[in-house]
Each structure stands twice: as structure tokens, then as C-alpha cells.
Chain A
Amino acid sequence: MKKGLMVLFGCILCWLMFTSLAWSEEGVTDTEIHIGQWGPQTGPAAAWGSVARGTGDYFKWINATGGIHGRKIVYHMFDDGYNPAKTKAGVKELQEGTGIFGWASGVGTSPGLAVKDYLMERKIPWVGPAAGSLHWVSPPEKYLFGVYPLYYNEARALVRYAVETMGKKRVAVAYLNDEYGKNGLRGAVEELESHGMEVVAQVPVEKSDSDVKPHVMKLRKADADMVLLWTTVSHAVRIVGTAKAMNFAPQFMSTSTCSDFPLMTHISKGLWEGVICATFGELPDSDHPGMRHYKKEVFDQFASKDERWGMFYAAGIIFVEPMVEALKNAGPDLTREKFVAEMEKLTGFKGIGPEVNFKPFDPDDMYCRQGTRQTFLVQCLAGGKAKKLTDWITLD
């Protein structure tokens, strides 16, 4: 009798286990979809912390307008302080403790690299890492979709503009000595090579450097007429300021991560004026209908009172717009495989960022998972205002 009961109990257990697999996806219930994101709210990259907050407010607005097929998005955001060890610990805790359907955005190349293999081995979708690293898509991964323009392409666009439009002859690069900085350096080197030129100085900056005078001396010694900055926000400001103190005045250009002009102007005490940056989305003060819509519906209604309608806040929306579109298109019976299939069908998708195009998975084509090849260039004006120098540039 006892044995029979145990067998029955075992069968019930197996049934429960298999039915849960067959009927529901991890992180999805009848009423909820669990989505996670990490973002530095403290630490050296905290200036980019508003990306994760922007995504959170966007999800609040989606929930307030009925959710997705009747399900609310439950958003799990944690502060990793731009520390890859914390990123990995936080992602594992949420994934294995709560159960996350998919991961949205996530600031930083190094933090992202710390969890990429973990997520991909478990076939967990990750959309729109908030970093333009080649590591996401070269080689492509079936469950990882890049929305951020590649740093490599941003650097190429900037150098091309400097050489072809501004006639610059001596290009130097100051780069953060990690994968983020090296992606920018690689783009600059290759673009210059295509013009038969070389980088006149490659100056690595360490995260812990607070004195950049030796770096600027090297740039000045190379007599650069354009300096490409691929560093953190604070290093970029220090380099521009120290150059001013040394009476060294090349054209500075920088990556989209330094394109929040009101912030850059404030912390550089106005010295950021004239700097040209690549960018990944419409400008916060533009008349673009999408920007006006999100400003009114998302920012004005859901942002905390200390929040600022800036580039990085809007980026938190840009990077997850394709994810939300695919969640809608996947219909009420949501599974990861259906979601990935819908992501692959996104072509010509246009939100407030660049045009997004994905394709069915092809291990030999990184653009099946790198959704955009577009960026555009803006110049900082007095008071942190921006002037659009180009329209969207598409790079091959």
C-alpha cells in the first residue's frame, strides 16, 4: 500500500514537472512577464544609470496602457555599479531565484561580457545591450539581439567625417583600456587605413586614472588635429579640460556614450562646446513625434522628480522598443522560441532610434543579430544644445 502511494506521488510529481514545462515558459505567467536589467546607479559609470531607469518608466507606461496581451511587465532592475562580478551575481540570483523571461539592455561591455555565456548557454533572450561592442554579434548568438550602433561603426563614421568633410590630417585616439575603448580604436584605425592614413597617437586611459596630463602631453606631442575620445564621461571631460589648460586645441570627437550634451556641458563647465559625437537616437529636444510622445506619456507621467529627460534616459526606451514589438507580435502564447522568431521578423522597424533589421539566424552573418548599422553625428553648442551635422549614416 505504502509502495503504491509512493509510486502515485512520484507520478504526480513527474506530471507536475512536465506539465509546467509544456504549458508555461520561465518568467511568464497568465498575468506577468518578468524582464530583467542591470544598470550602474553607483560607481564610475553612474552617468549611464538613467538607461535602466528609462526602460523601467517605459514598462510602467506599457503596463498602465493595458500591458502586452493582458500581461503586465514585471521589471527587475539591479545596480551592478559597473562591476562585472556584481553583474554576474545579480543576473544569476534573479534568473535562478525569480525566473526571468528575457533580459533587456544592460549598460557596459565588461558587465555584459560577464553574463553573455551564462545567458546564451541557457537560451535566454537578451535584447539591446547598452553598449556597441562587437562581442555581442561577432560571432552572432541566436538569443542575443544588438540594437546599439556598434562602437566600431561609430568610430568609422566620426573619422570619415573628420577626414572627408573637415579635412583633418592627423587623427589621435584616447581610449579606455578595455573592450569598450578598443572597439572604438579598431574602428578608427580601420577607417583611417581605408583613407591611406594612420593614427598618429594611441593613448590608453585606465579606469583609475585621475590625472590625465601625461595622456594629453602625448596627444599634443603627436600634433593631432583631431582627437577621438573613447573613454568614460569623466575622463573625456578631464582630457578636454587639460588640453584647454595646455593651450592644445584639436577638434575633439567622441562616442555616443558622451553625447548627453547638457550633462557634458555642465560637468566640463562649458568646455564640451564644439565637440562632435556619434549618437544612437533622436535628440531629446527634437521635434520627432516619437520623442514628443515618450516625453509626454512616459517621462512626464512616470519619471521620478530628480530624473532628467536626457539622451541616456531616452536610450533606455530605444534599446527595448524592438523587444516590446516582438513581445506584442508573439501573441498570447508567449514562449522564448516564439519571441526569437518574432525578433527575427523585425525589418525596417523604426522607433526613436536607428532603423532596426534582424534576419533568421546565420552564424556567418553578424548582421542577422546586429539590428542597426546607422548612426548620426551631432555637435555640442553653447548651453548643451545640439546641432545635427548629418542625417542617419548607414555603414556597410
Chain B
Amino acid sequence: MGNDARKSSVARPRYRLLDDGQIERIHATTLKILEETGVRVADPEGIRVLEEAGCAVEKEDIVRIPRGVVEACIESAPSRIDIYDRKGEPAMVLEGRNSYFGLGTDLPTTVDLETGEARRSVLQDVVNAARVADFCPNIDFIASFALPGDVPTNTMYVECFKAEVENSTKPIFFTAAGKDDLEYIARMARAVAGGMEALRQKPFLIHYSEPVAPLTHSKGAVDKLLFCAENGIPICYIPTVLLGASGPVTLAGGITQANAEALSGIVMHQLKKGGAPIVSGWAVVPLDMKSMTYCYGSPEVRLTNAAFADIYHHYEIPCWGIVGTDSHVLDQQAAMEHAFAELLAAMDGANLIHDVGYLGQGLLGSPASIVMCDEIVSYIRRFMKGFEISEETLALDLIDKNSPLKAPQANFLAERHTLKHFRTEIWRPAVCNRDMPDAWRKKGGKTYGQRVVEKAREILKHHSPASLDPGVVKVLAAIVGEARTGLEGKKFNA
């Protein structure tokens, strides 16, 4: 036995899908796509930076990126991104296998917390999601969650950002229609952080944007990508490949195509500003060949997520994660898919795990779903913590002391050792049932789904997020006012 009796170690769950040879093969095939097949870049500035770095441009917008350029950009992308909260306090260190969980954006329909009916999302749903998530201890970042149908379309992302920043201190993951509204959002963020340099130093926001499969960077996407690079706004630039529809049906082909899309995004971003913060990964998702829908809750999504986590850990670039369920209500399917997705994303070591609480194929939201997932993440965090193996935790003396020989009526409950460790060793749920059958019935015999709805209502009734400085609130209102005029009738680039 070589183990030093005094040494302490931690037993921690971990999971890796790809071995080194598999990573190398996918990487080499990706480089071949970039170097020989090429990608379409529908933006002159994107093409300019690529051409300047030595990429060949053909037929106006097809760009071939040499291996050396790709590898230099993987190298220059930072391996650690520090994200702060609205108050400038450290909130997330996107690095290594650190996992953070947060909301997703833009759900057009919301399950009303009072009526239980699905209806068109409104701005108040953005407010509600921010407040519920602000309360939930395991939700690390917020996002619009709802896509408000009751505000002008051209300013909806600007209005969402204001609603989010005013109703939670947590970091904000956000979308924009184009560079034009993104500029207004950046102005708001600067007002909150205390200026451009303060925001650059302590970003509390991450922009989300995406290319279009197969192998196409739209003008709008590149505009936003390069704007973020220049302005030091962290960006999550993520391709979506629908297996068998916008990419090969085989998982290996789908992820390799997606990797070419993701890496060409990183290349443009790093060429524009070396060292600028970018989070990568992909959504490689099955198209259900019967219902023709996008399957969030599928096992294939877990495999493709695990694959990018392994590859981006190898690249040493922070990666996102995607979770969510295809169920339209908080039923058994929702709980199953939420739990599998979030657990496996944590096991993957994904850094920025978003879409927590998503229902119905990314079309439906519910504040109660956020509460359900908060507890699932709490469970996962306990699981991922593992346990310590040391002299203290092995507790040999205690076992000996309470052995049948020495203590015929052994009882560990009154031991100091138990008192010292039980709170940290043993997880307790906040909403899950642990009552005996009669006690559970006496409390109304409610399901987990019913209890999370009640808890969400309670949170909205009683939780008040830390308020924003009234002077800043005024500035934000003024910027939104300007945006309403400035963006009226504006057509955003595809």
C-alpha cells in the first residue's frame, strides 16, 4: 500500500468522451475543411482581416484559412475569462472545468405562473425571469429568457437588457438583432459599469451570436463578432448544426463541420483583436425526422456537448454548454431531460452552461422551470464536489470507538465528528420531497412540479433584487428612448 496515511485527496466525478487520438483526428479534419473547402464570409470587414492574415478569397466571399492562421488564433484566444456581476464583484471564472449555469434568451411563449396557460411572452416575463434567477442561488447568470412581444421589435433587445440589469445583479448573457442595437446595449453596460475602461476591466455581460450552417458567417453575425472583439465585450459565438439537415447526420461529421464554423469565427475575432475574450462550442442537434423539430432533450446533444468540451479543453479556450427539455410542461419528461442535461454538462466540464429552464424545443419558458433547475443544479453541485478521503473523513478512530466490542449501543449521532461534517457532507433539497408518506399527504400531497410553481410565485412576491443607482436608471431610460428613435424602421443585416 503506497498511500500515505496522512495525505488527503478528493474523489471527484469526471467524464471524458474523446481520447487524444480522436481529438487530433477531428482537429485535423477541421483544418482540412478550413484550408481546402473554405467558409463563406458575407462581411467585407471579416474578409479584410482574413485576407490580411494570408487567407485566400475566392468568388468574392469564400475564404480558405491556412492551418498556421487557425493555430495562431487558437493560441491567442484567452484560456481564462473573468466575468463580474453588476456591482463589479467577481462572479465567474470561465476556465478549465469550472461550470456555471444560467438562463437562455428569446423564448417567444411563456407558461403564465398564475393561469398555467401558455401565452405570448411580454417584457414583464423578462423581469420575472431576472428576479427569480436573482433569487436562485445556483443560477449564476441571467438572460432575457422571454422574447417580449409587447415592445417594438427593433428595440426589444435593448428593452430586455434594461429589464435584466434593473432586476438582478447577476452577469447577463444577451442577444442583439444587429450591430446597431448592440451599440445601444454596450452604452447601457458602460453606464452601469462606470465607463468604457471599467467595463473592459470587469465585464458583467456576454454577447451571444451565431453563424449559419453549413459554413456560413452572415454579415450580421460577423458585424457583432468584430464589434465585441474591438470593444472587449466577451462573446459566445456558436454554430448550430442540425444533424442530417444543415450538416451530416453522423455525429462525427456534424461536430467537425461545426468546429470549422466555430474556429473560423475565433479566427476572425482574434485577427480583429488578439486576446479578446471569446467563448466557443457548438450546438450539434438532431432534427427529429418525424416531427421535424429541433431536439434539445436528446442523448445525441449530450454526446456532441461532451465532444466540444473535450476539444476546447484541449484548445484551452472556454466553452459553453446547452441544456433544456422538449417537454411543454413541467412534467416527468421535463425533470428527466433537465437533470440529464445539466448533470452531463457539468461532467463535461463545460464552462458557461446556458438555456437552464428552457422548455418546448427552445420556444417556451416558465419561471417555475428556473426554480426546478435551480434545485437540480444544487444536487449536481453536491455530486460534482465528490468527497474527501483523509484521516479525518475515513474516521477510523470513530469506527473503532463505536465498534460492537467497545460500544454495544453504538450511535454516531451525538458525535462531534457528525456535528462537524453533516452539513457539508450531506445535501438537503429545498423543494424535493423527503417527508414520510403521511407527512407528505398532510402537507397537501403536492408534486415537485406543483411545488416549484408555488415557490416561483413566492419568490416573485417577496424577493427584491438589489436596486440600481437611480442616476444610472435615468441614463438607461434615456438610452432606451434614443434607441426607440434611432432604431425605428431600421433593417438589420442578415
A and B are interacting partners: no
* Interface residues in chain A, defined as those with a beta carbon under 8 Å from any beta carbon in chain B: none
